[in-house]
Amino acid sequence: MSDQAYFDYLLRLGDDSLVLGQRLGEWCGHAPTLEIDLSLANVALDLIGQATYLLGHAGTVEGAGRDADRLAFHRDALDFRNCLLVEQPNGDFAQTMARQFLFSTYQRLLFQELAGSTDADLAAIAAKAVKEVAYHADLAAGWVVRLGDGTPESHRRMAGGMEWMARFVDELFVMDALETGLHARGLAVDRAGLRPAFDATVAATLAEATLPPLPAHRPVTGGRKGHHTEHLGHLLAPMQHLQRTYPNAVW
């Protein structure tokens, strides 16, 4: 029997990784150096791998015959449940690293807790993914410090990247009725409970980078309910092009 609430929760997890993986893939061949190009490509592949497992598990829970590929390539933007942070434009390299640092710091804490989920399949996915995400978070934090405490220009750009991304942070920690119910069943994480550790890590890294504290903005939310920025549709169009054009194609 389908568990709609849990299906939706798994979509939230999988869509976060899928959309950010696709976004990072846009850097392939365009990064500042070959080493960075490879690093971002590897992070993107890790995220796509997470999405494959999470969306595949979502399809199993749904019980409607949709696998990870169908969920990734045959849903419209309004059906995606990713947070708004991951769909934001890459901007320059500093903006990309600001987004990656904020998201990976959060995702690391999230997967650490999800490794204790009462769903053994989700717990196994999270336990594997947290090792990858630890690398993502450390890589991004290193660049935040390097750029923030670098030249006046790199400092300005990193501060600008944090300014742009800060408004989307609060959404990461919102607990709605759906997730509150799943948390009571031991399936989901209390996202709000992750906030103190997140704030402490971010504050310490920004201080080391000689950057100001994360700016306070009026929170921008809605991604978990399918209310997205215009950026998601532009991201999905090339990602879904082949499957939309040739819906029965197999590889």
Angle at 111 between CA 49 and CA 184, to 5 degrees: 125
| Separation CA 201–CA 149 (nearest Å) | 17
Q: How many CA atoms lie within 13 A of 164 on its CB side?
A: 21
Q: How many CB atoms lie within 10 A of CB 1?
A: 5
Alpha-carbon separation of residue 136 from 90, 99, 186, 205 (angstroms): 16, 11, 27, 15
pLDDT of residue 72: 96
Signed CA dihedral, 242, 245, 246, 248: sign only: positive
pLDDT of residue 1: 42
Q: Residue 78 is encoded by which pair of tokens?
A: 């309004």
pLDDT of residue 244: 86
Residue 11 neighbours by CB under 8 Å, 6+ apart: 55, 58, 71, 80, 81
- H helices of 118-169, in order, are 120-148, 152-165
- Please count the residues of the chain: 251
Q: What is the 8-class DSSP label of residue 113?
A: H
Residue 207 neighbours by CB under 8 Å, 6+ apart: none
Residue-range domains of the chain with CATH: 4-245 (1.20.1260.10)
Whole-model pTM? 0.96
Phi and psi at residue 244, to the nearest 5°:
-70, -35
Per-residue pLDDT in tens (0 to 9) along the chain, 251 residues: 469 999 999 999 999 999 999 999 999 998 888 889 999 999 999 999 999 999 999 999 999 999 999 999 999 999 999 999 999 999 999 999 999 999 999 999 999 999 999 999 999 999 999 999 999 999 999 999 999 999 999 999 999 999 999 999 999 999 999 999 999 999 999 999 999 999 999 999 999 999 999 998 899 999 999 999 999 999 999 999 998 888 877 66
| Separation CA 217–CA 62 (nearest Å) | 37
Q: How many CB atoms lie within 10 A of CB 237?
A: 11
Burial 143-162 (b: 16+ CB within 10 A, else e): bbbebbebeeebbebbbebb
